[in-house]
Amino acid sequence: MAASIASPPATTLRRAAVRATLAPSVHNTQPWRMHLAEGRLDLFADLSRQLLVLDPTSRQLLISCGCALMNARVAIAGADGGVRVQRFPDPLRNDLVACLTAADEPADPELAALDPVIELRQTNRREFAQEEVPEAILATLEATAEAEAASLIPVRNPEHRIVVATLGQRADAIENRNPAYRAELRAWTTDDPGRRDGVPSLAVPHVDGTAEDDVPIRDFDTRGTGKLPARTRSSLNQTMVLLCTDGDSPADWLRAGEALERVLLEITRHGLSASLLTQVTEVPATRAELRRELELTGHPHVLLRIGRAPTTPASRRRRLVDVLTEES
């Protein structure tokens, strides 16, 4: 028994790596690499996939890596394993974001319960039903974020909803005025069915001016090939929540990603969908104003729209051989 604790089966860690690759990431860049050896799984940030225009500080990159880390933790728990996570274990390797090894403790049942929905979770850019998420579910989601050292703040106040919508529109306009941003967006949007990264046209709305969005969904339809319905109606009356952390360091961004993916999996487990509306937190000026106007004590990282929506096509994933190295 002691041997299995010290050295978890390679199949368990390999499965964790596979399920980590199903995590959401900014523009589906999948900015991670993994290494499996001697009973440990190392997760690295792939800095070659950083969005230098959208994400010059690597905030979104590390949030994406945090999502992958959460999937790995959930997968290990789902295999009835305990896990020890060391975040940024080597001060000389800023790209080594986490190391996972076995822990002499029972699996977390709440994480294990999320394992079956990893493959079902999808970012959804379709029109949501015009109804609020029940308070009982929101309370569960808030507790879920808190379990990961983050906070999930529902935007309930009508004035705050207007602030969120206004700042979201401002941030979206600021980004789209930048030719370099538009070029970067084009580079990570694809209608190539063989491409394994980037945002596919099958998963984005066709943009023709009829979206009727209060809080803008990012315009990925750069080639006019978006296959989802044009009208998305991202309304300020729908359920919106802000994911925040107390600090604003790279370690906080990684933990924000872990909390984000755990919340997204919990949303999926309840039969709901989510859209990530991150423009407002990507632009420093609107992020600071959002924090000030909503009187947030924490630092906002992601704005989520939650509700019921038709299913959406899945984004493709890179081949495992391209993201995982293994030592026998």
User: What DSSP assignment string belongs to 153-208?
Assistant: EE--SHHHHHHHHHHHHHHHHHHHT-HHHHHHHHHTEE--TT--SSEEGGGSB--S
Please, are residues 175 and 282 in contact by the beta-carbon 8 Å criterion? yes
The string of pLDDT tens digits covering residues 93-140 is 999 999 999 888 899 999 999 999 999 999 887 888 888 899 999 999
Strand order across the beta sheet in which 96-102 lies:
83-87, 96-102, 40-45, 32-37, 324-326
Q: Please give the pLDDT value at position 30.
A: 98
| Residues 52-90 pLDDT 10s | 999 999 999 999 999 999 999 999 999 999 999 999 999
Q: Is the pLDDT of residue 222 over 80?
A: no
> Helices marked H in the chain — which ranges?
2-6, 10-20, 59-78, 109-112, 135-146, 158-176, 179-187, 250-269, 279-282, 284-293, 320-323
Q: Which residues does 18 contact at the CB level (< 8 Å), separation at least 6?
A: 75, 320
* 5 pLDDT more than 90: no
Mean pLDDT of the chain: 90
Collapsing DSSP to helix, strand or coil, 116 comes out as helix
Check: CB of residue 9 under 8 Å from CB of residue 41. no
pLDDT band at 6 (very low <50, low <70, confident <90, very high): very low
d(CA 42, CA 188): 26
Residue 9 reports pLDDT greater than 80 = no
Least confident of 149-153, 314-318, 319-323: 314-318
**Rounded to two decimals, what is the model's pTM?**
0.93
Grade residue 203 by pLDDT with cuts at 50, 70 and 90: low
- Residue (of 67, 79, 70) closest to 13 by Cα position: 79
Q: Which of 58, 144, 52 is nearest to 97 (CA)?
A: 58
First to last CA, the chain: 22
Token match 């084009």: residue? Answer: 186
**Rounded-to-integer distance, Cα 176 and Cα 300, Å:** 21
**H or E element in which residue 273 lies:** strand 273-276
* Percent above pLDDT 70 for the chain: 88
Is pLDDT above 60 for 205? no
Residue 1's pLDDT band, with cuts at 50, 70 and 90, is very low
Task: Give φ, ψ of 181 to 5 degrees.
Answer: -65, -45
The answer on pLDDT for 228 being more than 70 is: no
The model's confidence at residue 7, banded by pLDDT at 50, 70 and 90, is very low
Domains along the chain?
Answer: 2-118 (3.40.109.10), 135-307 (3.40.109.10)
